[in-house]
A and B are shown apart, each in its own frame.
Chain A
């Protein structure tokens, strides 16, 4: 009898951890920096080390292998350490900084939007800026409030205000597999890349992750479900909602194609356009708020370039145009839901 082949599965946080660890082994210039990325800073002499590891424990264990010179806990100084990463990247390091939650980019937006994103351009292309900003985002969006319920300043998605900035690459992994590959790609990229990591992917993201290092290319979307009647297009946790919706729709003989964007900027327009030219319908699902959003940006691009291919008006399903509310019932209404995606498709199918 043949032994079954063991397929190693990882969940989201550990796959990012593996990406960081392998890249740090490969290149001594890769460092990680952020608040409580190791934890218990300076307390090794008391037997305390590695007390935290970031909100998803993605940096846990790195300090024991690479030491505090390359795994750097910072004071609560986002403006300072993100700016220091810009300077370090200009001078030979490849820093990976963690901004604990995407909401906190407000504390360091100058260094991201005015400095990191534009430096290469402003200097006429004469400088490289190999830095990565990892940051957690998103709501849980169901009625089990514990673990969600982080309200207006710790639950946002905010990827539009990052994707909006020319010069900044923005990637959004949705599974353990693409999280590892995109993180490695981001570290190897010579420009600034923001990696947005959803807080509540849970088991949905778990899956086969090869042990060896690999790259999931930045700027390339993934068709995760083939279909013929409608294209559903999303990123991060919303991709899983689209897959759930597609399953329900399949029972109604509606065959939905699902595109996982993976990179928001530069956007893989071609994959979206090719799909829409076949399905003739598009629903864009976006966890961010709707005004100036990725959803409307994609809708506009498709309307400009494939209007004649469309059989129905493009639909968008986004978060509510409000701050994130605390109360669990309101948070569930704020966040895009599977039934909204299904309703949008049914409306398109007439």
Chain B
């Protein structure tokens, strides 16, 4: 959580000081969701992300230096500079992609679940999606298919309450996205998305169910994005400062610290050390990103078609 926060804070600073990184959707405020979910997964499990995907990548183990280099458009980036923030990913960490087409990644997770079932690998697949994407037809088709085929899929809704500027109470016909699980015959649970332990426990339960062959689950994490939809969005045009402050008062990192302070096992000094280490990692990441080469002109034409050859998997 600390590393995700620092990555996003550093990126925000870079954007504000004029580094051209294209459109970015900050994850600040939602860190407990990515971390709680990924903590309950094996490395071999799959994750499909959203347009707001930096946190999912870091939680699944992608190194921050090549991520930063990607945002700088360098060949040393995770995607060789071809993807940028909205496609930043590392398939070797079993991430099916960060994806700015709403609901698209949900289908990929269902496909990964199907693949795991057919190949009998016991892997599970997580579909992260926002509450905005709960309005996308693909998501509903996918929930139905995953349920009828009993696929090992976790539908993790990160309900940060706003699709760009559109509030959930306007765009969703029921109070909770989790309410819709009943329509597809799967468990639907609501968890406090600011509590990393709550997210982790709910995910563990759903993972067990999925690995046992009992089918998918829907977990709705109630969370909040502190910043705008992207760097050009002014949140004061659609939400109250009191509401923003109330969300910040329930900050996942502060909550984690308070909990450790109350009962451990980590000491405050250890947490400070983690923060310090992460700060160094971010310094190194920015240096790495700056030092990388911009792509050669020939890179424009590479990777367009998958080369002929034997299947790689």
- List the interface of chain A (C-beta within 8 A of B): 35-36, 39-43, 46, 48, 50-52, 73-77, 79-80, 103-104, 106-107, 144-146, 148-154, 320-323, 325-330, 333-334
Contact = CB atoms under 8 A, between A and B. Distances in A.
Interface string B82-114: 111011000000000001111100000000000
B268 interface: no
A135 to B, nearest CB: 14
Contact of B87 (A104, A146, A148, A326): A326
B74 interface: yes
A309 B299 CA distance: 39
B224 to A, nearest CB: 16
Contacts of B18: 146
A43 to B, nearest CB: 6
Nearest to A100: B164
A52 B87 CA distance: 25
Contacts of A328: 20, 73
B272 to A, nearest CB: 35
Contacts of B99: 153
Contacts of B74: 327
Given A151-B86, A326-B84, A330-B300, A36 B21 contact: no
B180 to A, nearest CB: 13
B132 A76 contact: yes
A39 B166 contact: yes
Contacts, number: 154
Contacts of A321: 304
A79 B137 CA distance: 7
A133 to B, nearest CB: 18
Contact of B83 (A76, A104, A151): A151
A40 B167 contact: yes
Most central of A79, A153, A326 by chain B CB within 10 Å? A326
B143 to A, nearest CB: 15
Contacts of A148: 22
B137 A80 contact: yes
Most central of A73, A329, A333, A334 by chain B CB within 10 Å? A329
A42 B173 CA distance: 13
A75 B301 CA distance: 37
B22 to A, nearest CB: 3
Contact of B167 (A43, A77, A107): A43
A75 B22 contact: no
Interface stretch (B235-243, B247-255, B283-291): B235-243
B172 interface: yes
8 contacts: A35-B166, A50-B237, A145-B73, A149-B21, A150-B22, A151-B86, A153-B99, A329-B297
Contact of B165 (A51, A79, A327, A334): A51
A146 B83 contact: no
A322 B301 contact: yes
B86 A46 contact: no
Most central of A40, A74, A321, A327 by chain B CB within 10 Å? A327
Contacts of B132: 75-76
